[in-house]
Amino acid sequence: MELSTLTESVLSLFIIILVGVYGSKKNIITPELNKGLTDILIKIALPFMIVSSFMFTYDESIKSNVLKTFYYSLCTYAIMAAVSYTMLLPVKKDKKTVLHFANIFVNTGYIGFPVLNSVFGSEGVIYGSIFNIFFVVFVWTYGILLYKGQLENGYLKKEIISLLLNPSIIAVIIGLTLMTFGVEIKGPLLISIKSIGNITGPLSMFIIGVILSNVKTKNYLKEWTLYYGITIKLIIIPLIIYLLSLMLKDSSNAVYSVIIMTAMPASAMTSILAESYNKEKEFAAVIVSATTLISLLTVPLLIKIIM
């Protein structure tokens, strides 16, 4: 994709974010409505977008890239965790927990998928959905462990069942089944699936706008850990992943998709879990908002570098 086209795509997402900010400030999008929009996004729109991404004509190289994306993603999560842990040694207590979580768990659903769709189309969403599988698995295991300090007896068994019932995981399974067996869907059903999936981008940006509108960052402008954490999250980790990827000598869209995903801002789960476990919840909200805003500049720059 040409940089000008990418810039237009990112700017269009930013404009929709501003509409979300406006809707929140004018109380058009209330907290209750935003929760409903989030449920629609996660449980309906995003799964339909994932399924629809598998519905295009692809060759054997894409099937091969899907398999490669599984171990690329797994290795990437391990590297992100190691780099984050090492670089956050100067940070203490709960702020360290929040930043470590934010560095590992990126915003795949709200921003990652719309960006990949803008850059690579349906093919990028396929690779992103594989990356998202590990997000879902690790956020409810390692992520919870970070905030709680330990897992209760029987927790893993319960979460494994929940993971299998997660709408995004089910969508990936359906998509992979369609790909494996060459099932072709046509007509009104195909149109409906794609139409529902297409609302993912705008809906995601509305929600991000609401998040940005409700956070007061001025209390943290003198907090050095904020700038340090943002630098690690949006610049250092993606660049390290990119440099390591050069050793693979693989210039496929699968590799690029994984790298781009690592450059996404902190997941909203950073703030949600911080709120749940009362660990620097305001700082977590600022990290989510600040990385989201700044990523609108850093992500296009990274894409220009790697492509």
The number of residues making up the chain comes to 307
Residue 276 lies in a domain: yes
Residue 181 lies in a domain: yes
Give the pLDDT score at 222: 83
| CA torsion angle 53 57 60 64 (round to 10) | -10
Residue-by-residue DSSP string for 244-305: HHGGGT--SHHHHHHHHHHTSPBPTHHHHHHHHTTSSHHHHHHHHHHHHHHHHHHHHHHHHH
Residue 78 lies in a domain: yes
Residue 227 lies in a domain: yes
Residue 9 lies in a domain: yes
Residue 47 lies in a domain: yes
Residue 305 lies in a domain: no
Residue 275 sits in a domain whose CATH number is: 1.20.1530.20
Q: Which residue has the tokens 């494996």?
A: 180
Measuring CA to CA, how many Å separate 215 from each of 27, 266, 284, 307? 15, 15, 10, 34
Which domain does 154 fall in, by range? Answer: 3-300
| Per-residue pLDDT in tens (0 to 9) along the chain, 307 residues | 545 556 676 677 778 888 999 999 999 999 899 889 888 988 898 889 888 877 766 677 888 898 899 999 999 999 999 999 999 999 988 999 999 999 999 988 778 888 888 888 888 988 998 898 888 888 888 888 888 876 666 766 776 777 778 888 888 889 888 887 878 888 899 999 989 988 987 887 888 788 778 777 777 778 899 999 999 999 999 999 999 999 988 889 999 999 999 999 998 888 878 877 888 888 888 888 888 888 888 988 898 888 7
- 215 with 82: CB under 8 angstroms? no
Residue 219 lies in a domain: yes
How much of the chain is helix, strand and coil, in % rounded to 5? Answer: 80, 0, 20
The count of structural domains within the chain is: 1
